């Protein structure tokens, strides 16, 4: 699978047009990200489903805090129905900083994520559900038929990655450097050791920040905003894996917290861009994606895509076509 992430910071109609461009450029899937301060994720996915024919569509990712997991399961089932069975359920803990704005602290993130998609699978299978754990459900059911919907867990840490490999259909691993995917492959292998054969094949999908342009400098400059958010929330082991300055990352985090995005983006170092984004010309990006795919099965290109989205999708489509032809 070759996919891309679209962020609803842009109007829904624009996202639908971009998704249609992506389908024409050879992409297999489109994921739409979610933050409460952007446009609605599922409304965007609905429009994308209407404007495309074969493109797989899904949240990338939905979180199980803001929306009750049973309601979330029904929203995903509705998307799958209206898209003609093209749904992919991307589920994960969500962005810690924006969830904190709403009073959520991600308590029991792994357990809640696992319970959310397990309950969803029961509901989609036509079962009535009682659940008393990280959320409550009593005699809950859907009153319409649902097909089988693949579940992809958004992950970055070891425990969530292993859980995904054991229980889900795939993982959307958040990283952009081969070093991270070499590490993640070990976590996936541990999870697969405990995976029942009845669950079928598992898709280890790279969910990587990408910024592509004909000019390298333009691509790297466009990478600053997403890299700032990644670096500012990066766990110490991730910073250490790339020999990045913890104090510099803390400065970025502090600037984001007080809304000083200009300072946050300006504090990003070239080493941070190298670690947290696949940025550069088509030739650069192709080489870096090849390094990631030495470890992963699939590739999803995430935000920012590039300084110009239409051009970036066209350039990425050409790059991915060369992988298909190889």
In a domain, 264, yes or no: yes
pLDDT for the residue numbered 97: 66
Residue 281, burial from CB neighbour count under 10 angstroms (0-12, 13-18, 19+):
middle
Q: Is residue 252 part of a domain?
A: yes
Task: Give domain status of residue 145, yes or no.
Answer: yes
* Helix or strand run (H / E) with residue 110: helix 109-124
Shared domain for 294 and 266, answered yes or no, is: no
Q: Averaged over 114-120, what is the pLDDT?
A: 98
Instruction: Of 233, 210, 229, give the one whose Cα is nearest residue 282.
Output: 210
Residue 320 lies in a domain: yes
Confidence of residue 233 (pLDDT cuts 50, 70, 90): confident
- The bridge status of strand 56-59 relative to strand 29-32 is parallel
User: Which of the four pLDDT bands, split at 50, 70 and 90, describes residue 95?
Assistant: confident
**Structure-model confidence comparison of residues 320 and 280, the more confident one:** 280
Same-domain check for residues 263 and 118: no
Q: Are residues 15 and 129 in the same domain?
A: yes
Residue 5 or 323, more confident:
5
In DSSP terms, which residues pair with 58 in a beta bridge? Answer: 31
What value does the mean pLDDT take over residues 302-322?
95
Q: Grade residue 323 by pLDDT with cuts at 50, 70 and 90.
A: confident
- 231, 98: one domain: no
- d(Cα 74, Cα 118) in Å, to the nearest integer? 13
Q: What is the mean pLDDT of residues 235-259?
A: 92
Query: Within this chain, do residues 99 and 151 fall inside the same structural domain, yes or no?
Result: yes
Residue 142 pLDDT > 90, yes or no?
A: yes
State mean pLDDT over 246-270: 92
Confidence label for 60 from pLDDT (cuts 50, 70 and 90):
very high
Least confident of 16-30, 104-118, 186-200, 236-250: 104-118
Are residues 174 and 320 both part of a single domain?
yes
Average pLDDT over every residue of 9-20: 97
- Structure confidence at residue 236 as a pLDDT band (50, 70, 90): very high
Q: Higher model confidence: residue 200 or residue 104?
A: 200
pLDDT band, very low/low/confident/very high, at 326 (cuts 50, 70, 90): low
Averaged pLDDT for residues 193-218: 97
Q: Nearest-CA neighbor of 99 among 59, 125, 64? A: 64
The answer on pLDDT for 309 being more than 80 is: yes
154 and 282 share one domain: yes
Are 257 and 133 in a shared domain? no
Residue 22 belongs to a domain: yes
Q: How confident is the model at residue 228 (pLDDT cuts 50, 70, 90)?
A: very high
pLDDT of 102 higher than 80:
no
- Domains identified in the chain, total number: 2
* Residue 68 buriedness (CB in 10 A; 0-12 / 13-18 / 19+): middle
| Residues 15 and 108 grouped into a single domain | yes
- In this structure, the answer to whether residues 254 and 293 fall within a common structural domain is no
27 vs 298: CA distance, rounded Å:
12
* Residue 219 resides in a domain: no
> Do 232 and 245 belong together in one domain?
yes
Burial letters 138-152, b for 16+ CB under 10 A, else e: eebebeeebeebbbb
Question: What pLDDT is attached to residue 113?
Answer: 96
Q: What is the pLDDT of residue 33?
A: 94
- Looking at residue 205, which CATH number applies to its domain? 3.20.20.30
Lowest mean pLDDT among 93-97, 164-168, 181-185: 93-97
Confidence at residue 98, expressed as pLDDT on a 0 to 100 scale: 72
Q: Give the mean pLDDT of the chain.
A: 95
- Of 276, 291, 317, which residue sits at a domain end? 276
Q: Establish if 309 belongs to a structural domain.
A: yes
In degrees, rounded to 5, the angle at the alpha carbon of residue 69 between the alpha carbons of residues 63 and 74 is: 105
pLDDT at 40 over 90: yes
Burial 165-201 (b: 16+ CB within 10 A, else e): bbbbbbbbbbbbbbebbebbbebbeebeeebeeeeee
- Note whether residue 236 is domain-resident: yes
**Domain ranges, residue 246:** 224-276
In this structure, are 270 and 296 located in the same domain? no
């Amino acid at each position: 699978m070759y996919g891309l992430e679209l962020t609803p910071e842009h109007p829904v109609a624009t996202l639908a047009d971009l998704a249609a461009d992506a389908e024409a450029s050879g992409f297999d899937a489109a994921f739409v990200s979610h933050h409460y301060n952007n446009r609605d994720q599922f409304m965007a996915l609905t429009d994308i489903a209407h404007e495309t024919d074969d493109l797989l569509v899904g949240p990338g990712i939905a979180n199980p805090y803001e929306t009750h997991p049973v309601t979330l399961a029904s929203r995903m089932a509705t998307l799958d129905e209206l898209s003609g069975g093209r749904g992919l359920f991307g589920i994960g803990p969500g962005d810690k900083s924006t969830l904190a704005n709403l009073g959520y602290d991600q308590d029991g993130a792994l357990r809640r994520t696992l319970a959310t998609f397990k309950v969803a699978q029961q509901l989609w299978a036509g079962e009535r559900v009682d659940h008393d754990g990280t959320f409550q459900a009593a005699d809950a059911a859907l009153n319409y038929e649902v097909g089988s919907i693949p579940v992809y867990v958004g992950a970055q840490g070891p425990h969530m990655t292993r859980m995904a490999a054991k229980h889900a259909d795939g993982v959307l691993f958040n990283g952009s450097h081969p070093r991270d995917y070499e590490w993640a492959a070990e976590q996936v292998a541990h999870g697969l050791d405990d995976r029942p054969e009845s669950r079928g094949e598992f898709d280890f999908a790279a969910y990587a920040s990408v910024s592509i342009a004909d000019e390298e400098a333009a691509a790297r400059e466009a990478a600053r905003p997403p890299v700032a958010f990644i670096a500012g929330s990066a766990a110490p082991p991730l910073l250490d894996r790339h020999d990045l300055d913890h104090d510099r990352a803390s400065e970025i985090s502090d600037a984001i917290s007080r809304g000083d995005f200009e300072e946050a983006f300006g504090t990003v170092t070239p080493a941070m861009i190298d670690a947290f984004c696949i940025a550069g010309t088509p030739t650069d990006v192709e080489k870096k994606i090849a390094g990631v795919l030495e470890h992963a099965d699939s590739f999803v290109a995430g935000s920012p895509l590039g300084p110009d989205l239409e051009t970036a999708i066209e350039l990425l489509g050409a790059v991915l076509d060369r992988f298909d032809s190889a």
